[in-house]
Amino acid sequence: METNARIYVAGHKGMVGSAIVRNLAQDGYSNLVYRTSGELDLRDAGAVKRFFEREKIEYVFLAAAKVGGIAANRDYPGDFIRDNLLIQTNVIDAAYTYGVRKLLFLGSSCIYPKFASQPLKEEYLMSGPLEPTNEAYAIAKIAGIQMCQSYNLQYGTNFISLMPTNLYGPFDNFDTRTSHVLPALIRKMHDAKLSDAKAVEIWGTGKPYREFLHVDDLADACVFLMNRYNGNDIVNVGTGKDMTIRDLAYLVKEVVGYSGELVFNPEMPDGTPRKLLDTGKLNELGWQPGISLKDGLESTYAWYVTDAAEGQITAPASEYEEAL
């Protein structure tokens, strides 16, 4: 990408989109385009087409999505599949219609089968049943991958798809009702620390393994691949390392400085037993993550404390709310 290329970051107010904007700005890209959900509803096909026609976009980072943890996916599956299908369909089709030179679509590691062999290779996609707790979201993301690949084959577009592992960092969703596990742990233990609570409940047994990637590392990988990868196959983005939820909880406890007990509730769902990505393809292209989990947690918690006032988060409640 030329530094003066017209680049649209869809979802620039969310955790991923804002990280991509920061990375692009640091690298000297000066012609960035973005809109809030109030200015452009990506679920509205007509509005999206008018936007692309008017703005003459050359490159697209499609980071807009409705996202959430186990509870949100369980309670709102219709919203997750509808909104994500609408967002990605409208943006991908408009990118083709108005001659975008390249588009990067962000999927998720949840696209892989629940009991697939570990680590998860790109070719495992659609080789078995999905995890039921986030099936609607995963199916929407799989449809986005297929749409990019199909447009490449039929229309000769250059649309690439990245599958990031579990993410964390500034502008994450820290609402314990709808967030992913890591920000939920930070929020719970921070609140418990302030209230001097004797114990914090952790959902599930703590036995599942999860891999975590700082969002600034993901943004770096996105820009790297936008400049260096043109294949039709999906690419995993992760660290290649994982840990149990139990060990993660105790690491968060240490970073936050909470002195109470952790109580695991086996009555609550665990989700997929393990989700470790095979990142060999990305590593062979020349990219490696640069932020350790401990360092990333410390910087994320520092950001959280700075952006919290008496427990009220000033960042967007979710990537979706400012991503449409």
Give catalytic residue positions. Answer: 137
- Give SS3 for 61: strand
- Give SS3 for 164: strand
Query: Which tokens sit at 258?
Result: 């909470």
11 is in an annotated binding site: yes
**Which residues, in sequence order, are CB contacts of 67 under 8 Å at separation 6+?**
14, 137, 173, 180, 318, 319, 320
What φ, ψ does residue 59 adopt, rounded to 5°? -135, 145
243 is in an annotated binding site: no
113 is in an annotated binding site: no
Taking the alpha carbons of 111, 113, 117, 121 in that order, is the dihedral positive or negative? negative
271 is in an annotated binding site: no
14 is in an annotated binding site: yes
114 is in an annotated binding site: no
Q: How far is CA 244 from the centre of its chain?
A: 20
17 is in an annotated binding site: yes
Report whether 294 contacts 251 (CB < 8 A): yes
C-alpha distance from residue 319 to each of 66, 175, 217 (Å): 7, 12, 17
13 is in an annotated binding site: yes
- Give SS3 for 33: strand
56 is in an annotated binding site: no
Amino acid at 177: R
Instruction: Identify the helix (H) or strand (E) that includes residue 151.
Output: helix 135-155
141 is in an annotated binding site: yes
164 is in an annotated binding site: yes
Nearest to 323 by CA among 9, 3, 67, 11: 11
Instruction: Pick out the residues of the known binding site for NADP(+).
Output: 11-17, 106-109, 141, 164-167, 180
Binding-site annotation, residues for substrate: 188, 203, 210, 270
**Binding site residue list:** 11-17, 106-109, 141, 164-167, 180, 188, 203, 210, 270
